[in-house]
Structure 1
């Protein structure tokens, strides 16, 4: 084989993980466990090689269509970096069918560091040339033990969610006026009830953590004002979802709900609680910061779908 030939292929098996990890990224430390637990498959992890040198790589999470690893060798000349990445991504997407998203974790101030900004922009350019478009930038936030827990303010009472039907009713109502980009995309192509069911079945129904953690916030007369879903995913304790019902917005209840969800998880002794919200959702971002959550990362999402929820 000519040493200048570019070879694009999936990994032959988990034994090639060391090759795949020659390029750095925040998720490298999770890949071995993901493969061992079936959250990833070697056949959905692709590399571009010239000789024995890894020039680019791409990987999809789980069995879905989330591309969450896309890297190139930053030592390559600028034009070649993007070209090699596009060749890899186009070939890999032909073998990994289905519309999907590209997710990239970046430092909070990524635009302020020229080297980091260049690397992020290269990867976005690769995805764009492969047909993706920008969708949303999100804050990734974390609460750690030792950070003061928000004290109950006494304005709301909290009880467990009664059943799936109650939660679906609350989710449906809460979608009115939502600022969340994913929810807005869902509402562009389906009813609020359909969007609530899709979210419930796609995320909440899969959690193995206790449903007894889920909380409804009520006013003194018993009327529901909102709800919060503390949970554990495959990696961390999380605030999966939080919403104030439209009639009760503007009173700061998001902070009360967030405090309750955080207390539920803190009492379980978790090492951290993670959460995310859109950069543009300023009220929710402010609520997280007031509750002691610190921004540790951002996520940039691009999509190949007509709408992100498609």
Structure 2
């Protein structure tokens, strides 16, 4: 069990396939991955397990464990995978630090397809043997050119976010009553303001697009109702964060706000717009579907305590 020596071993690393394989070379070039974060378990010349961590551009510490694969040809892959993770995490994760979250993209119908279900559950079993537990399952959604973009209804006005402090204030306010599991987990460990700052620094601060794209939704008198952050990350145009303030939930404003974010990105002639929400966040999931987004994938998110 060892890390790869460099990009010259990508052919070895990709013997076990996954949807992110095409991004690995660019990630290494950009510093979003390091060879010492990309581990393999070999039995002779046979690759029996692999794991890789990722970080946003400009960071220096691993942020996600987003590649973890097993040789599914026999029953030994689960044991090998668990051993690989324990060995690699001892080197990759700083002593005393919480291991980065695990995320795996899975088919939307993975539970109904026996082969896909085995792949997902075997990896989850290996992770559980290292102390990880399921945090949440999420819908991954995509808007594609040609899908309709609703016209403004006129109920809300939209303006750019004034500054970082206004954004943090809005992000803090919408945590009251949130259905988002990641946000609720953060609130179990820190104050709403601290959770908002952490979310901003870990996510919004890394967008590759200007903050001028972000919008605050207001009533005609200027009272904020919610916000949306249409953006680009390292890979796609995204609806990064969208929310309605607690006092205005249940009035259908989420449709207007999502439509505004979609219009901003569609005007940039992007090939697609990506978004995600928890399976359990039914109001948000339904809003995306009403807006013409397609559930093309799900993700399994696991964490260590």
Tell me the TM-score normalized by structure 1. 0.94
The Cα shift of 1:170 comes to: 1.0
Q: How does 1:120-269 map to 2 (within 5 A)?
A: 120-269=120-269
Local SS of the residue matching 1:247: helix
Tell me which of 7, 31, 50 is aligned to 2:24: 31
> Matched residues in 1 for 2:198 and 2:118: separation?
36
How many residues in Structure 1 have an aligned counterpart in Structure 2?
296
Which residue is 1:67 aligned to? 65
What's the RMSD between the two structures over aligned residues? 0.9
Whether the 8 Å CA contact 2:36–2:92 is kept in 1: the answer is: no
Which residue is 2:81 aligned to? 85
Tell me which of 91, 96, 105 is aligned to 1:95: 91
Which residue is 1:111 aligned to? 111
CA deviations 1:279-299 (Å, max 9, x no partner) are 000000000000000001100
Tell me which of 20, 24, 45 is aligned to 2:13: 20
The Cα shift of 1:26 comes to: 0.6
Which residue is 1:9 aligned to? 2
CA deviations 1:47-98 (Å, max 9, x no partner) are 011111111101001232411111111112x2x1211111111111111113
Which residue is 1:5 aligned to? none
> Matched residues in 2 for 1:118 and 1:24: separation?
15
The Cα shift of 1:156 comes to: 0.4
Local SS of the residue matching 1:229: strand
Local SS of the residue matching 2:208: coil
> Matched residues in 2 for 1:236 and 1:96: separation?
27
Local SS of the residue matching 1:262: helix
- Moved >6 Å (runs of 4+): none
Local SS of the residue matching 2:285: helix
Local SS of the residue matching 1:300: strand
The Cα shift of 1:208 comes to: 2.7
> Matched residues in 2 for 1:36 and 1:222: separation?
45
Local SS of the residue matching 1:105: strand
> Matched residues in 2 for 1:272 and 1:217: separation?
23
The Cα shift of 1:195 comes to: 1.1
Local SS of the residue matching 1:295: strand
CA deviations 1:101-149 (Å, max 9, x no partner) are 1111100000001011011100000000011011000000000111111
Local SS of the residue matching 2:152: coil
The Cα shift of 1:221 comes to: 1.5
Q: How does 1:291-302 map to 2 (within 5 A)?
A: 291-302=291-302
> Matched residues in 1 for 2:268 and 2:241: separation?
18
> Matched residues in 1 for 2:271 and 2:300: separation?
25
> Matched residues in 2 for 1:207 and 1:109: separation?
30
| Runs of 5+ unmatched residues, structure 1 | 1-7
Tell me which of 10, 33, 43 is aligned to 1:50: 43
Local SS of the residue matching 2:179: coil
Whether the 8 Å CA contact 2:208–2:234 is kept in 1: the answer is: no
| Runs of 5+ unmatched residues, structure 2 | 56-60
